[in-house]
Amino acid sequence: MVAGKRVLIISTSHEKLGDTNEKTGLWMEELAHPYLIFKAHGLEVTVSSTKGGEIPVDEASLAAPFVTPEVEKFLLDDSAMAQVLESVPLADVADWASYDAVFLPGGHGTCWDFADNELIIKVVNGLARAGKVVAAVCHGANGLVNATDAEGQPIVKGREVTGFSDAEEYAVAKEKLIPFMLEERLKELGANYTKAKENWGVHALLDARPPFPLVTGQNPSSSALTAELIVEALGGHKAGAAPPELHA
């Protein structure tokens, strides 16, 4: 049973795409769909962000063809939206060590406020070293690249990992705007990086080997499977089994 276990979601608070005037932020599917899945399984969920307050959302993720039924359901739920409009500053999550899992959703905003964020590194390192679940989807894996184990080695080294692929980055023409390419960086850190055969294909992994369960998803399409694997890692039903009805 996973009911009552706690998941800490950490979102980006960054809203500017590099040196351009283009807005970015969180990709809503990557928070909304997992949130609904977590709540459907009775998990306690806290939505935090690097700065707190209203989370900037990439407008493209709220419009056709990218908006999903789960995002629409989330947007219409006042209690769910309140967590996005009034997210908890990560610095105020004093009891982070008591959570059973940390989950990092993506969006291009994470390219600027995740990798070098000392608080994210502290939380990821602490939960990983305590054997808790560490998870990310898409660009959320930016929050893993500077996390290390007790010996100072990258936590992704030798682990089965995925994240937004270089091919997908080129497809959205953001490769010259971001600080580094995520797939390339993960490979440099020694991760066993894999991806779907086609861009935007569903691909998520649960590396359940000690010292901690690591769950990663490649892209927005992989958000639901990533969440299901987190539930599995927490001791719930195996991913792919019939899920409970989604509601916030």
Query: Is the model's pLDDT at 244 over the cut of 60?
Result: no
pLDDT tens sequence across 29-63: 999 999 999 999 999 999 999 999 999 999 999 99
Query: Is the model's pLDDT at 87 over the cut of 80?
Result: yes
Q: Work out the average pLDDT over 178-194.
A: 99
Does residue 242 lie in a domain region?
no
Does residue 246 lie in a domain region?
no
Contacts of residue 141, defined as CB under 8 A and 6 or more positions apart, other chains included, come to 104, 106, 161, 162, 163, 164, 182, 186, 216
Does residue 65 lie in a domain region?
yes
Query: Is the model's pLDDT at 243 over the cut of 60?
Result: no
Does residue 211 lie in a domain region?
yes
Does residue 91 lie in a domain region?
yes
Say what the pLDDT of residue 3 is.
86
Does residue 53 lie in a domain region?
yes
Q: How many domains does the chain have?
A: 1
pLDDT tens sequence across 189-236: 999 999 999 999 999 999 999 999 999 999 999 999 999 999 999 998
Q: Work out the average pLDDT over 109-134.
A: 99
What CATH number does residue 163 fall under? 3.40.50.880
C-alpha pair distances (Å), 90 with each of 41, 50, 72, 175, 197? 24, 5, 26, 28, 36
- Whole domain around residue 102: which residue ranges? 6-233
End-to-end CA distance of the chain: 19
Q: Work out the average pLDDT over 57-76.
A: 96
Say what the pLDDT of residue 242 is.
54
Say what the pLDDT of residue 235 is.
94
Say what the pLDDT of residue 70 is.
97
pLDDT band per the 50, 70, 90 thresholds, residue 1: confident
> Both tokens of residue 45?
């969920």
Does residue 46 lie in a domain region?
yes
Does residue 196 lie in a domain region?
yes
